Homo-oligomer: A and B are copies of this chain.
Amino acid sequence: MSDTFGQTVFEAPGHDHDACIRGALARADALCAERGLRLTAIRRRVLELIWDNHRPTKAYDLLSAISAERGNAAPPTVYRALDFLLEAGLVHKIESLNAFVGCDAGHERGHPKFLICRRCEHVAEIPGPAVDSAIAREAERSGFTVDHETIEIGGICRRCAAAD
């Protein structure tokens, strides 16, 4: 489970990614149990594939993987699983990449906001209400009622900058 404050928005150097995936799936199991949602085999496997790394995953890469495993899989197979996972808040779509990332933030009140490193392609969510608040203030000036935010910040993460 990632920290939500400080310097470890991106994974820390000693990141135990196996545990990271297990945690994400456990949280998904718990959340679905709690809400009476059915995390079926396909849906769970798609979620696991998305958590395979911290990079955005493309629908057709998921399709290839699922197809290789099960023999039969078509676009609807993966898009339906994605719809479910998006609806449940277990994954997010990165619009600027047409790709999907796992969500570990549990941002009930806020909207997801991403930092995306264009070198290593890792993605992290921006925590906290500061950005949402700034946007809310600007929207209010125009009498605009916000109900969805797509915020995807591209750049270079600390580790990639250090690796020059």
> B-contacting residues of A (Cβ < 8 Å)?
6-7, 9-10, 95-96, 113, 115, 117-118, 124, 126, 128, 130-131, 133-135, 137-139, 141-158, 161
Contact = CB atoms under 8 A, between A and B. Distances in A.
Contacts of A117: 144
Chain copies in complex: 2
A161 B139 CA distance: 13
A155 B138 CA distance: 13
Contact of A145 (B113, B139, B155): B155
A110 to B, nearest CB: 12
A99 to B, nearest CB: 12
A147 B119 CA distance: 12
A141 B152 CA distance: 16
A143 B6 CA distance: 10
Contacts of A148: 118, 153-155
Contacts of A124: 142
Contact of A128 (B131, B138, B152): B138
Contact of A138 (B131, B137, B147): B131
